[in-house]
């Protein structure tokens, strides 16, 4: 169902008895994690900032924001955080944006890089140039509600997708919003737009997963 709030179009995520208001973590290491948290609250979730590996135990899903993927990895290598995160993303819904998309990918190119390997895509880092080449564009998607505004900042490019990956939006013939089971990934920054449909899509995945595993 689509709702309009303060001039913004919002897709309300389907409700579930198991998690009417799911508790979703936002990895608060770098990137605009506060904007992600605000977006999640707007579409009916409880948002929790996650900075320690033990904090993952209390959330139903996780958002990995944008930033610098190599910096993410260096931080996650401390205190066994990377190992705990790898276990989490294999079992719980996870949404990665920009650098988060790179971390979720099975293969990272230009240059190659370690990743969590749960999303069957090949991603090229910094494919659209430097920070100065950032852009805001609007494209049609497979989400209900019409064209979607997309904010690109040093965006990666998804070069290949596996058979089970659903492409929800494209830019210049390349996927920019993809979904595989309980994993959602975007090469743009939906948290920087007023349109909350992408976050609502993820909250829906979290609720569906909670229902199927209750």
Active site residues: 98, 189, 191
Instruction: For residue 65, give both structure tokens.
Output: 């924001």
198 C-beta neighbours (distance < 10 Å), count: 26
Q: How far apart are CA 13 and CA 205, in angstroms?
A: 8
SS (H, E, C) 77-125: CHHHHHHHHHHHHHHCCEEEECHHHHHHEEEEECCCCCCCCCEEEEEEC
Among 129, 198, 197, 123, CA closest to 158: 123
């Amino acid at each position: 169902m689509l709702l309009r709030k303060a001039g913004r179009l919002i897709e309300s995520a389907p409700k579930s008895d198991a998690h009417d208001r799911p508790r979703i973590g936002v990895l608060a290491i770098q990137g605009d994690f506060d904007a992600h948290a605000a977006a999640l609250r707007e579409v009916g979730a409880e948002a929790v900032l996650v900075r320690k590996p033990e904090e993952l135990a209390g959330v139903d899903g996780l958002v990995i924001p944008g930033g610098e993927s190599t910096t993410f990895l260096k931080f996650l290598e401390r205190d066994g955080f990377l190992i705990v995160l790898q276990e989490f993303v294999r079992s719980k819904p996870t949404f990665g944006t920009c650098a988060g998309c790179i971390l979720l990918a099975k293969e990272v190119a230009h240059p190659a890089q370690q990743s969590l390997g749960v999303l069957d895509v090949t991603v090229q880092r910094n494919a659209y140039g430097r920070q100065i080449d950032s852009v805001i564009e609007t494209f049609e998607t497979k989400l209900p509600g019409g064209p979607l505004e997309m904010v690109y900042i040093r965006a990666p490019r998804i070069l290949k997708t596996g058979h089970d990956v659903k492409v929800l939006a494209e830019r210049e013939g390349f996927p920019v919003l993809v979904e595989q089971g309980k994993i959602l990934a975007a090469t743009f920054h939906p948290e920087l737009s007023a349109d909350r449909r992408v976050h609502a899509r993820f909250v829906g995945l979290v609720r569906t997963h909670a229902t199927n595993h209750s």
